[in-house]
Amino acid sequence: MIGYGTGVQWVLVLLLSSLVVGRQITDDLIRLPSDHSSILDRVFHGSDKFNDDSVGTRWAVLIAGSNGYWNYRHQADVCHAYQILKKGGLKDENIIVFIYDDIAYNEENPRPGFIINSPDGDDVYAGVPKDYTGEDVNVNNFLAVILGNKTALTGGSGKVVDSGPNDHIFIYYTDHGGPGVLGMPTLPYLYADDLIDTLKKKHASGTYKSLVFYLEACESGSMFEGLLPEGLNIYATTAANAYESSWGTYCPGEEPSPPPEYDTCLGDLYSVAWMEDSEVHNLQTESLKYQYELVKARAGGPDAYYGSHVMQYGDVKLNKEMLYLYMGTNPANDNFTVGSDHNSLRPMPSKAVNQRDADLLHFWHKVRKAPEGSPRKEEAQKQFLEAMSHRVHLDNSIKLIGKLLFGIEKGPEVLQSIRPAGQPLVDDWKCLKTLVRTFETHCGSLSQYGMKHMRSIANICNAGITGEQMADASAQACPTIPSGRWSSLRGGFSA
């Protein structure tokens, strides 16, 4: 027979368990008696449920790979992501931020010192750690931070992912991209083989339990397609597949539109989708898969006239895990039950802007809004014309090189070829980087826009063209090296 004292103890356990489960646990899992101890510990000792030892330490690396006010949205995305993680319980010492930091106090920013990520959004810039800014936002530092290699750093705060075997890592990258490459505000750019090699090294070091990678960029799927193997405990989602653009959002002319004083896009469609979802849900009960499906629908539903295909790569089985393992969760959302509000995200805007055209949209709105005859209007017209001229030059140069190498009829076919799903962009990444440098030596920098031509150059490699052949064709296509702002003589090489 159970004694009086013991019976009281059991009643207390059951009452407290019911109270806590009814209030916090909404994932429909049956809890075993062994779970009661941890529940009671939270009640009596106030332990941090988001940082207990069974979860390990949460680490996050957030990077905006661009600069320039016309790229406002990338730094806004990263600052917004920081605020979500901070509210989720992650500590600043475990959140590493890469932003060029030329937006908040840019002379074009209508609200100096503030950055917003949606038309009616709050300031997301306040409190953001500026670990790596300006020229310190580069490939070397980004990869060194992931590996926890302080000796390889070339500036910045010195913070790295100093993780252990039980820790969870979240990496979020937002920028322009192209087939097999991601942009940086500095040169060179980040190529897929170097990223995958770094992730493999991180896995080999045994310094994480699982890693989640969210990637916003055009052709972002190409960074993992045929390259990220299973078995690394890495789950990646991308804003687009391997051969399509991603999209900006909250842009001038859209509905909803940014405040009238803004002439640039405030966010990116994929990025805004996962962050606005994370802000309102209880991330203890929302899985990576559930968020993936919501974001996929918002970024490019079946009836959309524009948008992209959000993709998954790596150890997809990890998407069954709850988001709080990587992002924590805001206690204010504890009572939100996944499934109770399938329409919590805003609908897709009336239209969106291709990532690669966001700069033109910005320059055009500057031209339209500036007073006739003003220096501002003259400068905006100059920027617009320079950008258009650079695009035409790159497009024509690549087309001509293809015709010189493969003939007038076959050239376009080779350049535009897309490999079947599951195959990487190129067989020889060293060849790709060599041919990129060769092209840029003669024809100028590819720049953010020109990254779209990376597939054409990869196809030239896959066709067996040598560096000497590429040099001859590039010299014919570009008899003089451009001397403008995108000249490789001024900025260096993307590879």
At 158-195, the pLDDT tens digits run: 999 999 999 999 999 999 999 999 999 999 999 999 99
* Residues 29 and 68 reside in one and the same domain: no
Spatial strand order of the sheet with 168-174 comes to 95-98, 58-64, 168-174, 210-216, 234-238, 311-314
* Residues 157 and 214 reside in one and the same domain: yes
Query: Domain of 478: which CATH number?
Result: 1.10.132.130
Question: 253: domain range?
Answer: 58-353
In a domain, 364, yes or no: no
Query: Domain of 152: which CATH number?
Result: 3.40.50.1460
pLDDT for 301 equals 58
Collapse the DSSP code of 429 into the 3-class scheme (helix H, G, I; strand E, B; otherwise coil) and give the result. helix
Report the interhelical angle of 429-443 vs 467-477 (nearest 10°). Answer: 30
Among 74, 79, 80, 218, the active-site one is 218
pLDDT for 304 equals 55
Segments of the chain with pLDDT less than 70: 1-54, 301-305, 337-351, 486, 489
| 80: annotated active-site residue | no
Among 74, 80, 176, 362, the active-site one is 176
The pTM of the full predicted model, rounded to 2 decimals, is 0.87
pLDDT for 224 equals 98
* Residues 227 and 332 reside in one and the same domain: yes
Which tokens in the block code for residue 22?
């009814």
Tally of residues, the chain: 495
* Residues 27 and 98 reside in one and the same domain: no
Question: What per-residue string of b and e applies to 68-98 under the rule 16 or more CB within 10 Å gives b?
Answer: bbbbbbbbbbbbbbbbbbbbbbbeeebbbbb
In a domain, 383, yes or no: no
* CA–CA separation, 62 and 465 (whole Å): 38
| 176: annotated active-site residue | yes
Which tokens in the block code for residue 260?
């009238």
In a domain, 50, yes or no: no
* CA–CA separation, 215 and 220 (whole Å): 7
CA distances from 442 to 90, 184, 185, 447, 482 (A): 48, 22, 22, 14, 8
pLDDT for 366 equals 82
Residue-wise pLDDT tens digits, 198-240:
999 999 999 999 999 999 999 999 999 999 999 999 999 999 9
Q: Residue 256 — φ and ψ, nearest 5°?
A: -75, 150
Q: How many domains does the chain have?
A: 3
Nearest to 246 by CA among 289, 299, 288: 299
pLDDT for 339 equals 57
